[in-house]
Structure 1
Amino acid sequence: MEAYLIAIGIFAGIYLLLALGLNLQFGMTGLINFGHVGFFCIGAYTSALLATNGVPVALSLAAGGFAAMLAAWPLGVVSIRLREDYFAIASLGFSEIVRLVVTSEGWLTKGVQGIPGIPRIFPGVSSQMQSMLMFGLVMVLCLLAILAMRRIVKSPFGRMIEAIRDNEEAVRSLGKEPAGFKMQVLLLGSLLAGVAGGLYAHYIGYISPDQFIPFITFQIWMAIIMGGVGRISGTVAGVIILMTFLEGSRFLRDVAPFIPEVAMASIRLGVIGLALMLFTIYRPQGLMGDYTKR
């Protein structure tokens, strides 16, 4: 049971890094990114490929984050000035292109066979100690990311991106160009997604293209919506709620053993979707949102 809880904590931390990056982009800047999983994928594959070829794991993780941030730059150059809904479509297309590339370029990524034997972050220790150290590392990175987000929110840069979120035309009328600020936010959020991808790859030990589907982005969107868009505390709360539903729904079969295992996966998705609908109807501002507003 302890190992199971530690594993959940590690996945929750990885999801929290993803959610913090997306909350910075959408919650604080209004940048609708439907392709967040693409940067997650880039970070995972970059770190995995480097580590399996002898590069130290610490450098591989850093390279994964940098590669995701670097990949966000051309996307931003091409589409950052588009209207929000058009950028959302462009980002979704980008993530699918990334997945198709890692699927088809087998000479580099081994295609659908995936990359096995990815080195652990802490070699030479027992499996239980590996998990505990991994949990500690993920929690430290999450804490650093939260502190960085708090600093950004309270800085002039944070106030500017919030102004862009609230009224981009007003910001432009003051002589400021929103595109430059949006680009910086896109890069920072992608950096967090890339680091999360590297952590995921080294923890799982095996990655393949079907692990990086758009549903991952949808889950992260669920977390920030349920927790409270634009709030760091809401991001944390949203990830906790999401993991509770994802893991708690695994035990539905104990309550209803007559349901076939094949059908249980669909029912789990239905339960999670129902939770999102209820939050949208009764708490549209999220769990940690302003309770004076409806």
Structure 2
Amino acid sequence: MSEFIISTLTVAGIYGLMALGLNLQAGYAGLLNFGHIAFAGLGAYATGITVQAGGSPWLGAGIGVLLAMALGWCIARLGRQLGADYWGIATLAIAEILRTVATNEGWLTGGANGIAAIPSLFEGLPRPWNSVAFLAAVAVLLAGAAWAGRRLGNGRFGRALRLMREEPKLAACMGYDLVSLRSRAVMSGAALTAIAGSLYAHYMSFAGPDYMLAAETFLLWTMLMIGGLGNTAGVLLGVLVVQAAHALVPFAKDAFHFSSDTAGAMRIGLIGLILLACLLWRSQGLLPEKIRRIA
């Protein structure tokens, strides 16, 4: 039971890092990034390829961050030519292109089989202390990311992003470079998400194309919408709610003897019901963003 709780909290922490990265773009800047999971995929693959070649895990994480930031810069610059909705579709297409490349370029990524046998960061420790140490590392990173995201959102940069989100023409008239703001928001979120992807590869000892499925991005969007876009505490609450729904279904399966297919459908249905309830009664999330207004 303790191992199950540790595993659930660890995965929740990793998804929390990804969700905070998406919040920098969608919550503060209002950017419809539907290919956000590609940044996590880059972090996971960079770690797997580097470790497989005999390199350091820290080097792999650093390469993943640099690749994700480069992709984020390109995606943000693409936004100059597209409207918000078309830009969101373009990000989804880019993520699918990367997933297709990862699936077919077996010489580099292992193809559909992915890259296996990625060592854990604390494999030298005995069980269960290796899992506890990994959870502690994820918790520290998550706390640091939440603190930094909150400071960033309440600072000058965060206020500029919110102004761009609400009144882009006014932001431009006030001298803000909207392309620069968009680029910095996407690149910051990409770096944080790449770190989460690297951690996920170490934790699962695997990196594969399934890490970049569009469903993963929409799961992160669900967490943000349930918790509250633009609110760091709300995002973390949304992550906990969704992960709790994931964790409770196996207990229901054992208690009522559901099949695996039924349990999978129940998990999706339960998360869908929670999202629908929030959209109907708490449209801005369980902990909505608080914006200071001038009377």
Asked if these proteins are the same fold (TM beyond 0.5), I'd say yes
Alignment of 1:127-142 (within 5 A): 127-142=127-142
Q: Which residue of 2 aligns with 1:270?
A: 269
CA–CA separation in structure 1 for the residues paired with 2:20 and 2:277: 23
- Identify the range of structure 1 (60-69 vs 160-169) with the bigger mean alpha-carbon deviation: 60-69
Structure 2 unaligned runs (5+)? 291-295
Alignment of 1:47-196 (within 5 A): 47-196=47-196
Q: Which residue of 1 aligns with 2:279?
A: 280
**Conservation of the 8 A alpha-carbon contact between 2:37 and 2:211:** no
Please list the CA deviations of residues 202-238 of structure 1 after superposition, one character each: whole Å capped at 9, or x if unmatched: 1110122123211111111111111111101101111
**Conservation of the 8 A alpha-carbon contact between 1:81 and 1:179:** no
CA–CA separation in structure 2 for the residues paired with 1:144 and 1:250: 31
Q: Which residue of 2 aligns with 1:216?
A: 216
- Identify the range of structure 1 (88-97 vs 244-253) with the bigger mean alpha-carbon deviation: 244-253
Structure 1 unaligned runs (5+)? none
CA–CA separation in structure 1 for the residues paired with 2:127 and 2:49: 22
**Conservation of the 8 A alpha-carbon contact between 2:223 and 2:242:** yes
CA–CA separation in structure 2 for the residues paired with 1:73 and 1:177: 15
How far did residue 81 of structure 1 move? 4.8
Identity of aligned residues (%): 34
**Conservation of the 8 A alpha-carbon contact between 1:44 and 1:197:** yes
Indicate the RMSD between aligned Cα atoms, in angstroms: 1.5
- Identify the range of structure 1 (209-218 vs 104-113) with the bigger mean alpha-carbon deviation: 209-218
CA–CA separation in structure 1 for the residues paired with 2:84 and 2:73: 17
- Identify the range of structure 1 (146-155 vs 134-143) with the bigger mean alpha-carbon deviation: 146-155
**Conservation of the 8 A alpha-carbon contact between 1:229 and 1:286:** yes
How far did residue 252 of structure 1 move? 2.5
How far did residue 166 of structure 1 move? 1.1
Length, aligned pairs only: 290
Report the 3-state secondary structure (helix = DSSP H, G, I; strand = E; otherwise coil) of the residue aligned with 2:158. Answer: helix
Runs of 4+ in 1 over 4 A off after TM superposition: none
CA–CA separation in structure 1 for the residues paired with 2:261 and 2:17: 31
How far did residue 251 of structure 1 move? 2.4
Report the 3-state secondary structure (helix = DSSP H, G, I; strand = E; otherwise coil) of the residue aligned with 1:73. Answer: helix
Taking a change above 3 Å as real, the CA distance of residues 290 and 150 of structure 1, as seen in their structure-2 partners, is closer
CA–CA separation in structure 2 for the residues paired with 1:253 and 1:6: 20
Report the 3-state secondary structure (helix = DSSP H, G, I; strand = E; otherwise coil) of the residue aligned with 1:134. Answer: helix
Q: What amino acid is aligned across from residue 150 of structure 1 in structure 2?
A: R
Please list the CA deviations of residues 78-130 of structure 1 after superposition, one character each: whole Å capped at 9, or x if unmatched: 23552211111011001101100100111101101111111221232223121
**Conservation of the 8 A alpha-carbon contact between 1:42 and 1:64:** yes
Q: What amino acid is aligned across from residue 289 of structure 1 in structure 2?
A: P
Q: Which residue of 2 aligns with 1:23?
A: 23
Q: Which residue of 2 aligns with 1:13?
A: 13
How far did residue 290 of structure 1 move? 6.4
Report the 3-state secondary structure (helix = DSSP H, G, I; strand = E; otherwise coil) of the residue aligned with 1:127. Answer: coil
CA–CA separation in structure 2 for the residues paired with 1:112 and 1:282: 42
Q: What amino acid is aligned across from residue 208 of structure 1 in structure 2?
A: G
Please list the CA deviations of residues 252-280 of structure 1 after superposition, one character each: whole Å capped at 9, or x if unmatched: 323432x4332321222112111111111
Report the 3-state secondary structure (helix = DSSP H, G, I; strand = E; otherwise coil) of the residue aligned with 2:116. Answer: coil
CA–CA separation in structure 2 for the residues paired with 1:155 and 1:81: 29
CA–CA separation in structure 2 for the residues paired with 1:128 and 1:163: 47
How far did residue 167 of structure 1 move? 1.0
